[in-house]
Structures are given as structure tokens and as C-alpha cells.
Amino acid sequence: MAKSKFGESQVIDFFSTALKDELINRFGSHSQYSIGNFSGSQDRKYADFFAGTNSSCILIEFKEFEREIRDEYRKPLREKLCKNLTSETAALSRTTHFIAHRISSMCMDIKLSPYVDVVCPNWSIGSPPLEAVSSKAHYDFIDDFLSGKEGVVIGKFLQYAGHLSSTAGGTADGANAPFKSVLYSRNTQGRVVGTFFNSLGELRQLIDKAPKITQSRRP
């Protein structure tokens, strides 16, 4: 089947919609979560997409098709990330940072894999620190993310965000590095509220202040 192009933004929007739908199905309409569709400096430093719950955080770089992964080879920060990998940073990246593309079909099917294992071999980075590429379909990945089997806790995510920030010439303090996104929750009227945060340190404070009931209620 010929691959008809719809645009990378459609892939991101579908994944975000599927994630939010499953999150509400599992944890109820009052679940609290963060979603960030990045652009500009945040896209170059981190990735296209950030998602976080109280227990797990991920970064995802999206491509519409697998062949477009080669676009990553032209990014100086990604080359620097790969060429400076250690076994420790590779292991952290593997559980935190993913690359995704859609598979050609009549429906939106997305495959996700650890970023470093897919992209870094372009610079002859060997194994170790890299591993054979493992992939998951988006519905399996989302299920594992919400079960805490994919992604990392906020403390580990701060460490990786600091590493990416440092690689880009910024602070290695992941809590204070610029990281602008939105925390979604519901107010007392049941309406969705988007609370801006400018750093992961601010996000952690918002999570700590949230009433615990928002994580246990069901529709």
C-alpha cells in the first residue's frame, strides 16, 4: 500500500488523544496528567512530545514515516547526545526517551522504540552502550506507560532532562532547566483546567500539592 502523507502533527494528535482516552478509562475523569507538544528550542533540546502522570514521565520524538528518522541525523544536539553516551546515560535514555512513527495502513498505527538504540548507530555507536532495537505498538506502549512499565519516575526524569539541557549548553539541574508545559486537572465544577509550569521543579510542586482524591476517583 502506498504511503499517503497526512503530516507528523496528525500522528502526535492521535497518540495524545489515545493516551488521554486510556488514562481517563483507567483512572477516571478526575485524573491529573501533563501533556506537552513542544516546538522551537524545547523541541530541539528535548523532543516533540512530553507526557507525565504522578508515577511516570516520557519524551517522544515523532516522525510520520520510518524513513524520516534520518532527519535526526542532521541535528547537532542529537549527534552530541549519541557521541557522549555512557552505559548509564544510555540506560536512562532507553527508559525515558522514545522515537515513534506510523505504519502505513488504513488506520493510525504507531510503533515506538527507544530513541538511542534507533538513532545513535548512525554515528557508529556500538553495543554496549546500545542494545538491539525493541519496539511496541502504541496501544501496548500506552498500557505499559500507565502501568509504570515504560517511562520513569519524576526524579529520574529530572536527571535525564538535566542531561539533555546540559548537552544543549544549559544547566544540568533538571528541576530548574526551562521546561514549559501544561498540567491538566479538573476544578470543583468538573471542568478541565490547564495549569502552566515553566520547569519540572514547578511541576513537582504542583503534583505534591494536588489533593490525593483526584487520583482515586472513578467516573
pTM above threshold 0.85 = yes
What's the domain range around 47? 8-215
Q: Tell whether the model's pLDDT for residue 211 goes beyond 70.
A: no
Half-sphere exposure of 94 (CA within 13 A, CB side): 17
Assigned domain for 113 exists:
yes
The per-residue pLDDT for 214 is 38
Residue 41 is predicted with a pLDDT of 84
Size of the chain, expressed as the number of residues it contains: 219
Q: How confident is the model at residue 217 (pLDDT cuts 50, 70, 90)?
A: very low
Residue 144 CA neighbour count, 13 Å, CB half:
15
Considering the domain boundaries, does residue 13 fall inside one? yes
pLDDT tens-digit series, residues 22-55: 999 998 888 889 999 997 789 899 999 999 998 8
Residue 200 pLDDT greater than 90, yes or no: yes
Q: Count Cα neighbours of 106 within 13 Å in the Cβ-side half-sphere.
A: 0
Identify the pLDDT of residue 207.
82
Provide the number of structural domains found in the chain.
1
> Which are the contacts of 201, defined by CB distance < 8 A and separation ≥ 6?
158, 175, 176
On whether residue 167 sits in a domain, the answer given is yes
Tell me if 1 is assigned to some domain.
Answer: no
d(CA 46, CA 102): 20
2 within domain boundaries: no
